[in-house]
Amino acid sequence: MKHIHTMLAIALVMGRGLAAQDTTQHAAPAPAPAAAPSAQITVDEGAVAKSVLDRQPQDTGSVFPVDVGQLICWTKVTGASGASIHHVWFHGDTQVGDVELQVGGSPWRTWSRKTVPADWTGAWHVEVRDGSGAVLKRFDFTVGQ
């Protein structure tokens, strides 16, 4: 046995590698553990608003005038640290925006803005979605009525 170790040491010193094959039988590898469920992302608070001041929504509501110009979807989420969420904006049933927002902690406040043309009146909504597209929360509102 000492002789094999000496030959191995000499081969390694000389820069030559040795190849070996393990011919012993091994039991089949254990199955991989089930993946841990992903963290549960929740929307703790949310609103559609005209503005944000000091990270808080201002002039929130569910009905806005024709000349509102832009609106903000503000959300406070937990359980999404390091992930991203999406604010998906709809005018009627037509998707008109998809804003990806990075979440840096838990809880985390974030928001997106959408320009609202004066002739885009009627029903609107914003869906808050996780990275896989699952809807976490929906905010319905109306423009111009």
- Residues 3 and 75: their CA atoms lie apart, in Å, by 71
The answer to whether 138 and 126 are in contact (CB under 8 A) is yes
The domain spans of the chain are 42-143
pLDDT tens for each residue of 87-101: 999 999 999 999 999
What pTM was computed for the model? 0.72
- Residues 74 and 60: their CA atoms lie apart, in Å, by 10
pLDDT tens for each residue of 116-132: 999 999 999 999 999 99
- Residues 116 and 124: their CA atoms lie apart, in Å, by 10
Q: Does domain 42-143 have CATH number 3.30.470.20?
A: no
Q: What string of DSSP letters covers 51-105?
A: EEETTEEEEE-SEE-TT-EEEEEEEEEES-TTSEEEEEEEETTEEEEEEEEE--S
For residue 6, the surrounding DSSP H or E stretch is helix 2-13
Q: What is the pLDDT of residue 140?
A: 98
Q: What is the pLDDT of residue 7?
A: 43
CB count, 10 Å around CB of 60? 17
Determine the residue type at 81: S
pLDDT digit string (tens) for the chain, length 145 residues: 544 444 444 443 444 443 333 333 444 444 444 433 346 899 999 999 999 999 999 999 999 999 999 999 999 999 988 899 999 999 999 999 999 999 999 999 999 999 999 999 999 999 999 999 999 999 999 999 7
**Which residues contact residue 52 at a Cβ distance below 8 angstroms, ignoring those fewer than 6 apart?**
58, 72, 74, 111
- Residues 40 and 49: their CA atoms lie apart, in Å, by 26
Peptide bond connecting 65 to the previous residue in cis, omega within 30 degrees of 0: no
